[in-house]
Amino acid sequence: MSKIVILTGAGISAESGLGTFRDEGGLWAQHRIEDVATPEGFARDPDLVHEFYNAQRAQSRAANPNAAHFALAKLQKEHRGDIVLVTQNVDRLHEAAGDQDVCHMHGFLDGALCSSCDTRWPAPLVMSTTQQCPSCNAQTTRPDIVWFGEMPYHMETIYHHLSEADLFVAIGKSGNVYPAAGFVQEAVLSGADTLELNFEASATISQFAQAEFGKASEFVPTWVETILK
């Protein structure tokens, strides 16, 4: 397996104490997507949206990577082929475990973005509507998160990697959100083998050649050791 493309979702961070979105009692059971994760919601009530992401950012900064994050960092370091790590997660746990060049397709809680001039800079712990863009001074700063209705980041690069993949692995994601849910299909079309590692079967499970179920902190280290052998 010389080139492996790995896609991680909220399930990989669950055992680090960060809530998933669609599991029972998850974030989308507590908040309406339309209110906190759409450009329209931000236009209606930016204070509410900042409050939501400020809480997520505080939790993300307080959390520690778990055995699954560390195992993927080890794989990236020790595998003789190419490892491409794409995540739907906006936390910093892959980086905290030592992973490099993580492709955050849904943005990053630690990033701020100016919606007037597209400048990006490191987000303070607490963002608010009164903060100014360091480049154009407009008070149009927002979390650098991809909201519903917006185009995820790095798509061209991701599809390029999928076209070259020998193996595509999806870890801890429910398969409900496109375009990420369609990556398995792209990988299959490119002739890659496919594997889902999850707690429960995702919505796209039927498209994977293989699947294993359990907790990420257990199955990811085991799978990584298999690959490294």
Helix, strand, or coil here: 189?
A: helix
3-class SS at 160?
helix
Is residue 106 part of the annotated active site? The answer reads: yes
Which of 103, 134, 124 is CA-nearest to residue 50? 124
Q: 4, 6, 37, 184: which one contacts ligand OAD (CB under 6 A)?
A: 37
Extended strands (E) in 12-136: 82-87, 103-104, 107-114, 120-122
Confirm or reject binding of residue 141 to ligand OAD (CB under 6 A). Answer: no
CA–CA separation, 182 vs 173, rounded Å? 12
Within positions 180 to 209, which residues make up the interface with ligand OAD, using CB under 6 A? 198-200, 202
* CB closer to ligand OAD, 17 vs 124: 17
Nearest-5° angle of CA 59, CA 72, CA 198? 75
**Of these, 216, 221, 223, 224, which contacts ligand OAD (CB under 6 A)?**
216
Considering the complex, state which of residue 131 and residue 176 has its C-beta at the smaller distance from ligand OAD: 176
Q: Name the residue nearer to ligand OAD (CB basis): 10 or 75.
A: 10
Strand order in the sheet with 167-171: 103-104, 82-87, 3-8, 167-171, 193-198, 210-213
Catalytic entry in 50, 69, 94, 106:
106
Question: Which residues have a Cβ under 8 Å from the Cβ of 95 and sit 6 or more positions away?
Answer: 102
Stretch that binds ligand OAD, among 20-28, 76-84, 93-101, 133-141 (CB under 6 A): 20-28
Q: Which x/- pattern, by CB under 6 A, does the window 42-81 give for ligand OAD? A: ----------------------------------------
Number of neighbouring beta carbons within 10 Å of residue 138: 13
CA angle in degrees (0–180, nearest 5) for 105-106-108: 100
- One of 56, 174, 194, 204 touching ligand OAD (CB under 6 A): 174
* Binding range to ligand OAD, per CB under 6 A, among 6-14, 78-86, 114-122, 182-190: 6-14
Query: Which two structure tokens, joined as six digits, stand for 60?
Result: 């993300």
Q: Which is nearer to ligand OAD, 132 or 142 (CB)?
A: 142
Q: Of 37 and 86, which CB lies nearer to ligand OAD in the complex structure?
A: 37
For residues 13 and 63, the answer to whether their CB atoms sit within 8 Å is yes
Q: Nearest to ligand OAD by Cβ — which residue?
A: 11
Q: Does 153 bind ligand OAD (CB under 6 A)?
A: no
Active site residues: 106
**What is the contact surface with ligand OAD in residues (CB under 6 A)?**
9-11, 14-15, 20-23, 26, 37, 88, 106, 146, 148, 172-174, 176-177, 198-200, 202, 215-216
